[in-house]
Structure 1
Amino acid sequence: MGTALAVSAVSLGLIITADYPSTTFIAITDAERMAFTNTTFAQGSNITVMVEMKNGEDGPRNFSLAAHAWNTTLFGVQYFSETLEEGEKWFVNVTFELNDPGVWRLDFDLYILEDGGTEYLYGSPHIWILVE
């Protein structure tokens, strides 16, 4: 398959919905803050993904991140949580051990909770990788 694996577009975007208008964002890059494109990894290696989130909501919010693979349970689920003030950014490094060959979709589900409110899924950007 080579490195011609098509990956999701850079997972940086302003996620704006009618229910929750804001300038909150989530971005996914490699550890050097570069986009993933046509990416192949060697079996037995690791991948470290940097997830950046910014609170563009009106006031402090609890941000929760669930990192997992969409099409397998091999990687388990990694959970992270942080309370961010308005305008504050949060960086999380997530590492996956790539012990099995295949095409994998790595998902990053972002949940936001306001004090006294109900937690909601804000967005679920992902990347596709090839492990050979």
Structure 2
Amino acid sequence: MKKHEVETLIDKADQAIMTENFDALMEIYDDEAMLVVKPDLVARGKTQIRQAFENIAQYFQNSIKIKQNGMKVLEAGDTALVLAQTLVSASNLEEINRKATYIFKKNKEKGWLCIIDNSYGHELLDNEKIK
């Protein structure tokens, strides 16, 4: 079965994060996207998202590893909901399994772009600080 375009973009995003190619990473996000940095912190817009990823790289001593361990893309019109099993590790972090949720919107000129990046998925229900 052929990979959905959004799955390919997520693979590219993971590679960009691991190689700290933040210019390439920002091409995957919509200008008004949001990133759940941690359950009580959200980055909005490309400038904040880029800064968040730079800070994440530094926090994890430039050693973050990401592997998708299964994805399901649910597409309706120009919107795609992605449910993913994401494995994350680093030199200072034992491997954790995240049930991530991403939302992509199809842009006429740029194709699929991420508008919501939530690697914490339903864990946010345990934290009321997200707005």
Q: Output the TM-score relative to the length of structure 2.
A: 0.29
Structure with a larger share of its residues in strand? 1
Structure with a larger share of its residues in helix? 2
Q: Output the TM-score relative to the length of structure 1.
A: 0.28
Looking at both structures, which has the greater relative contact order when contacts are Cα pairs under 8 Å and sequence separation is at least 6? 1
